[in-house]
Amino acid sequence: MDESVEKVYKYSNIISICREEIEYLYARNEWKIKKNWADHMDVLKEIYYEWSKTDSENAEKYLTDLRKVRESIDDAPVCADIINYELIPKIYSFISLLDLPIICFGEYSIAKSKSGFYSLCYKGKPEYSMDNPLLEAKVCVDSYYIVTKQSCYIMGVELGYFAYSVYRKYYGSIDIYIFDVSDENIKSAYEYGVLDWIEPDKLHIVVDSDVSSLFSKFITYEEDSEDTLYYVSPHFLKLVDGDTASMIFGLNTNFDLLRNFRELYLINFLKNKKSAYKTFKEFNENIKRFEDFVVVGGGPSVNDYIDYLQSIKGRSCIIAVSTILKKLVRNGIVPDLAVIIDPTEGTYRHIDSLLDETKDIPLLYESQAYWRFIRDYKGEKIRILGSDSDHVKKEVETTGEDNWSTGPSVTCLAIEAAVKMGAKKIELIGCDLAYPQNKAYADSDKADAISTEDVLSVDGGMVPSSDTFISFRNAIEKQIERFYNVRFYNLSKHGAYIKGCYEGRWWEDNNHYSEYLSKMSQDTLLDLDEKYFLLWQVVYKYISRGDEDEDFWPLVSENFNIIRNEFEKNLIPPSEIITKSNFIVLLTSQFSLFDEGISQQILQDARVLTKDKGKNVLIVNTSEYMGGKSLSVIDCYRNQYNVELEDKEYVFYMGDRYAYYQLPENMPNIEYANSLIQYFSDKAPELVINYDELSLMAEAFRRIGNVEHR
């Protein structure tokens, strides 16, 4: 630490010591009261000696207050008031006489606070307290404190105040890991902050200038995260943007939920154990089975689907979040299941006027949801465990129940429930995750958006959203990726685009595809894989409808050429894999379990190639066209993904077996397609034979006139 800074900080720290002394006095902790004061008496006296050199009158007043403290140490309220209202103000006065220069680092600067500690400023604006940044950090650490933690991960060093406060709170027993983008930031925290107040063997520094890479290290550096305290500095969060910012915000939101609601979670959990409930396993064993599910959130797009929800009752399983219960019930829609996760009392208003109506709606609730809501709910109650809270993890161990991945939003819980109940298809209604028409909820009668940024909309434009909604969307997108065997449909017409979802019901509107397709050439709409994914949906739905529109194929052709040209720039040319060898790839999206049609032709060819020609054969069921570089998203022979074959390594024909591989249901995917072609390249096949010429999609693109097939 810089010598001049060290001298000031020695006195500045006494203010924090005095604040702690007040807390010990209020708590009547006699041992800490006397030990704390005795440990720092030398510095308290030094202030008097230093002050006497320039202002003996005020120094004597200060000394008088020190004596008052000593004399009243056994009278806690009196002593605390003397320290708070007489001694501390005088220490502030003394520190005001000490100079520390303002130091600038580009857009950053550090300036002396009233307590003497440097405070960080960005573009001239203070990022932390200009009164006492160390006290601010100490209060923050108190809110994070969990006695069982063994390590602490801090994203953003700042000037080391949070790190040092953690170190002191845990009596020097905790390992502290600091993640930052710059060695200069670390150096500044040592020279002008309090980082060197931490024992070196307890401090671990990780520096990476790539924010995304740094964040990855931050969340994966140690596998056993249960013993780790996580903290992302608010200032660091301001400096990142894009996907990394959303991920960090989402992670920080989860940390904050656990921190801010820790006591409320426990109260709710204990209260809810007194209510009669079923486990999810008990509930799930005795329900009507559906394959089609609808998850209804609280967003404004619910208003577009009231008639639709009324019409599907009994044909699809409707799962509604608690936010939308009133609106659905008032419109004659009785969900098959309601879900709640909110721990706060504000959620009670969602049922306060329809308690009797809830008797016919089973309720799935996370064990820490608001206790009064659970107590008063009239319908069947199903408890699930889904939290990193210590009491929930203990309950999991005791009961053997699953600890669900509930995510940051109640919609995530609804999706988890749908999948566990057997969903093959999930439609999302009211999951706008944005502010279409500047409204957040279906019952909003006025603009209530609190937007932080615009995001891509399902209608091809942009729509206002927020950091919270973006973190929810990221969590849902991860669920969709995880549940790749379930088809998700985002029915919002103007909400946020959710990656991995089929887009709404727009193909059923007359000529609506024309408006949609016309936007696919815009660079800002979708990334390449997503454009391909949606284009194939349009083509398949159009062919399935069987009607004719003379404008359709030219429009598809125009957009297909744009996308195909962009795709081919990223795809390994097939010419690189056509070389002489004994290895032949039989490529198709039409392979089925039955020895007939194209499947029989493939197996017959495989038999000839192996028996008569001495070749090694690999049958690849791709749901795509590698030879023509054109991707589809379904098995064109069966009009759906061939689940029965996805795990097979061999298929058998006339007593012989043939190597077999089926791609996962995530096409189109450039990275995966390239890895497959690279595999072919490594094997150096003599020939790639494409059997898709007669498929439905081949017929579509033959009509476009832009795809060649062997």
Angle in degrees, 0-180, between the axes of helices 3-26 and 41-52, rounded to the nearest 10: 120
Report residue 577's pLDDT band, with 50, 70 and 90 as the boundaries.
Answer: very low
In the chain, what is the straight-line distance between the N-terminal and C-terminal CA atoms, in Å?
74
Per-residue pLDDT at 583 exceeds 80 = no
**Separation between Cα atoms, residue 113 and residue 95, nearest integer Å:** 10
- Could you tell me which of 560, 580, 607 has the C-alpha nearest to residue 706? 560
Q: What is the average per-residue pLDDT within 78-82? A: 92
Sign of CA dihedral 92, 96, 99, 104: positive
pLDDT given at position 651: 81
Report residue 492's pLDDT band, with 50, 70 and 90 as the boundaries.
Answer: confident
Judge contact between 275 and 375, C-beta under 8 A.
yes
Q: What is the average per-residue pLDDT within 223-248? A: 67
Among 65-69, 386-390, 628-632, 655-659, the range scoring the smallest mean pLDDT is 628-632
pLDDT given at position 120: 87
pLDDT given at position 514: 55
Q: Scanning the structure block, which residue is given the tokens 């017929």?
A: 699
Per-residue pLDDT at 290 exceeds 60 = yes
- Could you tell me which of 372, 368, 408 has the C-alpha nearest to residue 392? 368
Q: Scanning the structure block, which residue is given the tokens 């604006």?
A: 125
Q: What is the average per-residue pLDDT within 584-605? A: 69
pLDDT given at position 594: 55
pLDDT given at position 350: 87
Among 103-107, 118-122, 136-140, 455-459, the range scoring the smallest mean pLDDT is 455-459
Neighbours of 105 (CB within 10 A): 13
- Could you tell me which of 616, 626, 639, 640 has the C-alpha nearest to residue 675? 626
- pTM of the predicted model, to two decimals? 0.54
β-strand pairing of 118-122 with 616-621:
unpaired
Judge contact between 617 and 584, C-beta under 8 A.
yes
Judge contact between 283 and 385, C-beta under 8 A.
no
Judge contact between 383 and 272, C-beta under 8 A.
yes
Q: Please confirm whether the linkage preceding 668 is cis (ω < 30° from 0).
A: yes
**Separation between Cα atoms, residue 101 and residue 111, nearest integer Å:** 7
**Separation between Cα atoms, residue 542 and residue 549, nearest integer Å:** 9
Higher pLDDT, 515 or 491: 491
β-strand pairing of 103-105 with 108-112:
antiparallel
**Separation between Cα atoms, residue 9 and residue 2, nearest integer Å:** 10
pLDDT given at position 226: 67
Q: Which helix (H) or strand (E) holds 391?
A: helix 390-399
β-strand pairing of 118-122 with 462-465:
unpaired
pLDDT given at position 556: 62
Q: Which helix (H) or strand (E) holds 338?
A: strand 337-340
Q: What is the average per-residue pLDDT within 385-404? A: 86
Per-residue pLDDT at 508 exceeds 70 = no
pLDDT given at position 518: 53
Per-residue pLDDT at 579 exceeds 60 = no
pLDDT given at position 51: 93
What share of the chain in percent tops pLDDT 70? 69
Neighbours of 56 (CB within 10 A): 11
Judge contact between 131 and 137, C-beta under 8 A.
no
**Separation between Cα atoms, residue 461 and residue 188, nearest integer Å:** 44
pLDDT digits (tens, 9 = 90+) for 152-207: 888 888 899 999 999 999 988 999 999 998 898 899 999 999 999 999 999 999 99
Which range is most confident: 216-230, 312-326, 443-457, 689-703? 312-326
pLDDT given at position 536: 55
Helices (H), 457-527: 467-482, 512-517
Judged by DSSP in three states, 208 sits in coil
CB pairs under 8 A, 24+ apart, for 76-82?
A: 76/25, 76/26, 76/28, 76/33, 77/25, 79/25, 80/21, 80/22, 80/25, 80/26
What share of the chain in percent tops pLDDT 90? 26
Residue 108: C-alpha distances to residues 102, 135, 161, 688 (Å):
11, 22, 17, 60
Judge contact between 335 and 296, C-beta under 8 A.
yes
- Cα 421 from chain centroid? 24
pLDDT given at position 539: 59
Per-residue pLDDT at 143 exceeds 90 = no
Neighbours of 398 (CB within 10 A): 8
Backbone Cα Rg of the chain: 33
Report residue 545's pLDDT band, with 50, 70 and 90 as the boundaries.
Answer: low
Per-residue pLDDT at 334 exceeds 90 = yes
**One-letter-per-residue 3-state SS of 137-149:** HHHHHHHHCCCCC
Per-residue pLDDT at 571 exceeds 50 = no
Which range is most confident: 10-24, 557-571, 576-590? 10-24
pLDDT given at position 695: 39
β-strand pairing of 453-456 with 317-321:
unpaired
Q: What is the average per-residue pLDDT within 230-237? A: 78
Judge contact between 369 and 342, C-beta under 8 A.
yes
Helices (H), 518-630: 528-545, 552-568, 597-611
Report residue 559's pLDDT band, with 50, 70 and 90 as the boundaries.
Answer: low
pLDDT digits (tens, 9 = 90+) for 409-467: 899 999 999 999 999 999 999 999 988 776 766 565 555 556 677 887 776 677 888 87
- Cα 639 from chain centroid? 33
- Could you tell me which of 564, 515, 568, 509 has the C-alpha nearest to residue 542? 509
